[in-house]
Structure 1
């Protein structure tokens, strides 16, 4: 067949700062999906986009082209408003686990397609697979049946949603072109829009343990994704949240499930509860359910009932004990004083090195491994006091984890104790 465009012309246009037309973008994604455009050419174009950027219309057309490369889902016959959430990831970010059943307990439908962790950021599916019997892969029939009967599904995304993005993401990962706001935003939003939810709440994180460390970059990413969702007819809002310190008191898999259960039982760390409640309010408001008492559903057991139904529907044994690590080692305070900072990246890398995360896609994770904070921000400690506990089934991993977590805790002898600061920095709509 005669090709409408030439890949080299498109690469050169973007390399010199040109604006790609909707037709050029549609052809590019289609040609790449067909194999007509080589990986080397797409890598060159991705680098040009990293250096030159894209305007709002280009990003929207790029996102639409990736959606059009595969299947789309529809919830029109569901009989309940759909509302979803996406987090850009961080250390200790187990929010999806209590959030999905909490929102579903008010009659909204939550089709939560989640992923696995890579590197220091954990994956929701890895955490849930700590539960004996629970499975991430569902057929379309199982997915829709559970959404109708339970109201919440957390599972793996099918390969048919935005397949061009999946291929492009793998290429970006090995060509140094991941950290481009147009490419990040279109990657996330192409899958979320293809998923078919009517409303989307974004949790865009910034700080040491976030993908976007710089707040200005995180704010731009949030704004770009909100615009993409709005332009596509999806009610979209973003919360900009702080990931300077680990979220909650655990970073791992089974121990994060354990902490999520505490939240569903009406307890749990204050920052995890704060963010869960704030995101739930946004999701429910977008679903037309603003006048509800979100905190009450955590206290009276409604959210827990939905959790049990959700886990059971996917084969999980809600009453089985979570796996426990066999080996432990402690991190102690090196001085008297108040903890004024905890570097979430250092904690996340330590958990990863203990076995909680993976270095390559598809590698197994150790569900028992992780880091448990015994003391947190704003608390006074004494020299020699245990401030964190690292755990694994493979004690040979402790030495590298200890190297990673060294210096993570800043202790100021002259500081006063202070309450945990709010995780929520801004709301972008």
Structure 2
């Protein structure tokens, strides 16, 4: 197991990469330090790429995934939906050839009394995102502020919007990096 530590009390980036490469499990503090270092641009892109690849090949435990998802969420603005009285769900696509469910599931969920706020990023090379599909329909608006987005969810039960830079910026950074390195 790697032993190199940085001069501060936090582990070095090399240590964290080696730890995951060797099958180790990150602590909550290590995950927080990785997310913070990516967000604050303290971890060079080449080490981010190495960390992403080792994590891609070694995987993460359920605890690591849960904590990493929470840290990514907390890396930016968090939309509060406490005043939405309906139960709330989220649908996340894991990839594949085209998303065939989101555009149907959002309105169906709203009709069933369940709120489903949806934000969507850019397209994937040969696929169009749901936002791009909706933009092809005259008078459909996907570019909206966070307040307008929240108001639409409260009123209608669902909203489709373009992803905001303020929401989970670390996820966006890692998404772009994954596209560059094939992870």
Is the shorter-chain TM-score for this pair beyond 0.5, marking a shared fold? Answer: yes
Pairs within 5 Å for 1:10-409: 10-91=16-97, 93-177=99-183
Unaligned runs of 5+ in 1: 178-429
SS in 2 for 1:107: coil
Q: CA offsets, 1:353-375, max 9 Å, x none? A: xxxxxxxxxxxxxxxxxxxxxxx
Flag the structure with larger Rg.
1
CA distance in 1, matches of 2:113, 2:8: 52
CA distance in 2, matches of 1:118, 1:47: 20
CA distance in 1, matches of 2:165, 2:28: 25
8 Å contact kept, 2:79–2:146: no
8 Å contact kept, 1:114–1:155: yes
* Pair 7,122 (structure 1): closer, same or farther in 2 beyond 3 Å: same
Unaligned runs of 5+ in 2: 1-6
8 Å contact kept, 1:33–1:164: yes
CA distance in 2, matches of 1:51, 1:83: 30
Give the C-alpha shift of residue 127 in structure 1. Answer: 0.9
Q: Which has the higher helix share?
A: 2
- For residue 223 of structure 1, what is the aligned residue in structure 2? none
* Pair 49,91 (structure 1): closer, same or farther in 2 beyond 3 Å: closer
- For residue 7 of structure 1, what is the aligned residue in structure 2? 13
Q: CA offsets, 1:69-98, max 9 Å, x none? A: 112222111222222323334445443223
8 Å contact kept, 1:84–1:110: yes
* Pair 15,98 (structure 1): closer, same or farther in 2 beyond 3 Å: closer
Q: How many residues align?
A: 177
CA distance in 1, matches of 2:131, 2:84: 24
Q: Which has the higher strand share?
A: 1
* Pair 92,66 (structure 1): closer, same or farther in 2 beyond 3 Å: closer
Q: CA offsets, 1:296-331, max 9 Å, x none? A: xxxxxxxxxxxxxxxxxxxxxxxxxxxxxxxxxxxx
Q: TM (normalized to structure 2)?
A: 0.84
Give the C-alpha shift of residue 113 in structure 1. Answer: 1.7
Give the C-alpha shift of residue 170 in structure 1. Answer: 0.9
SS in 2 for 1:112: strand
